[in-house]
Structure 1
């Protein structure tokens, strides 16, 4: 005699019930195959030379890792970047003077933008900082290929709403 099962009225509750039933069915067919220490060590023997990855970052004061462009370009430099994730939207820029002084500016955006538009906003934020500090010549460095190529008129700006961003940058 089969058990009578009450089907929930809520769509999500029905889906959860179906998933639980499917898991129970799979356990009956294949058995409970959770990982156990003896099982994983026999299937994946440890390498004698294996060393775990160390995630310690020794110098938290480092803002840039890469080529030292101060020797190639001794003038003012601007680095910018934007981020879009589940926590929100943020932009930032670092303006570096001829003497190596760093001026950092960040902002949290409170409206929805795409990744590319956030990159434009970050660049504009840095350019405004440079303008406010009366910088006349500036090397601008960013990781957005789209922005760089559009500002240099190498790529076409299709969405009309981006034209104002591009013209400012």
Structure 2
């Protein structure tokens, strides 16, 4: 870190002896993403947080994730490196002492501190269990309000002591917005991740719904009809929108790794195939049922879980799996309409042998 002498403090990775370095193959980035990476790396170089170094033993690609404000976040996956490193050998109090001493703050870990710390650990290991109140029983409500937070606890008392029934803790700004009836906060926003899969054996789709509270719904959808990859992607999207409507969503953000489908919905690509046109119209019809919608394209690497669900539906028979919802779609969401060929009426000519065929086509 700039401004700190390495002789005073330095951080070194405690790699397990004998760990084999992992070298990822280089992933090619598009022009826009390559420019973003170059700008962010240059900013880190100018700030002095990183420096150029030829170190071929450990190599990992950067991953760009687009934020809701349109800007890019550059991430680095340190999973392989973390697995090869020892855990921090310092207990919590000791590391605090080392940091405070290095920054010029003197802190003494007295016996009283150790006693309080042990009591705190004991409390964390034995959290209070919520109890059910009895009919007609008097309850006690505790309120604690600070400058930026508010907390409450509903307690029942008996001869043994106090027992919690329910408690809340919120940031004061969120608390005021929630109870002021802010319609924008009251609306329910869900993220929908979809992926369709098709092969010679069967087709299927994977769907994941996630809301702001962290609730997650996973669906593996098997098709009882043949479907192309784009058709499977549309079926997954339509099923996800139906499910979002059932859970009461008013805003949806859809993530799909299909460039064709997302571009058709956003108006960037034109759907020329008649069947795809009907799927596009059906999808837009469902999107109009929400107050706010957004469709984003993401890479397959960022859609791994949904991809696994779609592969589960398209490669294996429906088995009982308690961790997700498995459904079967018996027929497509849109039906193909076969148009009859136009037949021109011809008169005044001796068609001889072809006349019966023309009459058959005309009156079919």
| TM-score computed with the length of structure 2 as normaliser | 0.27
Q: Which residue of 2 aligns with 1:46?
A: none
SS across alignment from 1:112: coil
Q: Which residue of 2 aligns with 1:123?
A: 237
CA distance in 1, matches of 2:202, 2:219: 17
Unaligned runs of 5+ in 2: 1-17, 23-62, 70-187, 284-364
CA distance in 1, matches of 2:64, 2:200: 32
Matched, 1:93 2:207: yes
Structure 1 residue runs of 4+, over 6 Å off?
66-69
* TM superposition shift of 1:85: 2.3
Q: Which residue of 2 aligns with 1:166?
A: 280
Deviations 1:140-161 (A, max 9, x none): 0000000000011111101111
Deviations 1:120-155 (A, max 9, x none): 111111111001112110110000000000011111
Q: Which has the larger radius of gyration?
A: 2
| TM-score computed with the length of structure 1 as normaliser | 0.56
CA distance in 2, matches of 1:162, 1:129: 22
CA 1:104–1:68 in 2, change beyond 3 Å: closer, same or farther?
A: farther
Q: Which residue of 1 aligns with 2:265?
A: 151
Q: Which residue of 2 aligns with 1:138?
A: 252
CA distance in 2, matches of 1:87, 1:112: 9
* TM superposition shift of 1:68: 8.0
Judge conservation of contact 1:81–1:91 (CA < 8 Å) in 2. Answer: yes
Q: CA RMSD in A?
A: 2.9
Q: How many residues align?
A: 108
Q: Which residue of 2 aligns with 1:35?
A: none
Judge conservation of contact 1:92–1:125 (CA < 8 Å) in 2. Answer: no
Residue number among 200, 212, 220 corresponding to 1:106 in the alignment:
220
CA distance in 2, matches of 1:52, 1:82: 35
CA distance in 2, matches of 1:89, 1:67: 30
Q: Between the two structures, name the one with larger relative contact order (CA 8 Å, sep ≥ 6).
A: 1
* TM superposition shift of 1:98: 1.3
